[in-house]
Amino acid sequence: MDDPRAHVAHVPAQRGPADDSPWHSNAACRRDEAGLFFAPSKEPTAARLAREEQAKRVCARCPVLLECREHALLQPEPYGVWGGLTAAERRVVLARRRRREQELREAARVGSQIAAAG
Ligand code: SF4
């Protein structure tokens, strides 16, 4: 990564000193100096894949992985590795969630119709 402090740039405001919540103060990437979490401009694909795998290895031992991942999914964060997932992987998770929610709504609607016909 171009800026060795760039990993800090993905730390959202609520992980700042004003709100030192446990999930951000315990983030394993806070001490990362390698800039693994965001792509430098014009990064070749092979380099990106290798960097993302390294970032994911940091995430895998991070005590706040689930909190970080949920934050990135809810925002949603469009760039970088968060909670062990790349941006593309988060898009897949979000699409699956939307599909699942749609299925549940449809099941509830059908259930209501069956109950009303009762
Ligand atoms: S899960 Fe990964 S991106 Fe999130 S705080 Fe931990 S090390 Fe950083």
Q: Give the model confidence (pLDDT) of 60-96 as tens digits.
A: 999 999 999 999 999 999 999 999 999 999 999 999 9
> Over the chain, what is the mean pLDDT?
85
Q: Which of 14, 54, 62, 66 to mutate to test the pocket of ligand 1 (most atoms within 8 A of CB)?
A: 62
Is the pLDDT at 26 greater than 50, yes or no? yes
Is the pLDDT at 15 greater than 50, yes or no? no
113 CA to centre of ligand 1 in angstroms: 45
Instruction: Enumerate the β-bridge partners of residue 46.
Output: none
At 3 the pLDDT is 39
Q: Print burial letters for 4-17: b (CB count within 10 Å at least 16), e (below 16).
A: eebbbebeeeebee
Pick 1 or 69 by higher pLDDT: 69
Share of the chain above pLDDT 90, in %: 70
Pick 32 or 49 by higher pLDDT: 49
10 and 59 Cβ atoms separated by less than 8 Å: no
At 91 the pLDDT is 98
Q: Using omega within 30 degrees of 0 as the cis cutoff, is the peptide bond preceding 76 cis?
A: yes
CB within 6 Å of ligand 1 — which residues? Answer: 27-29, 37, 58-59, 62, 64-65, 68, 81-84
**How big is the CA angle at 93 (ends 55 and 58), to the nearest 5 degrees?**
15
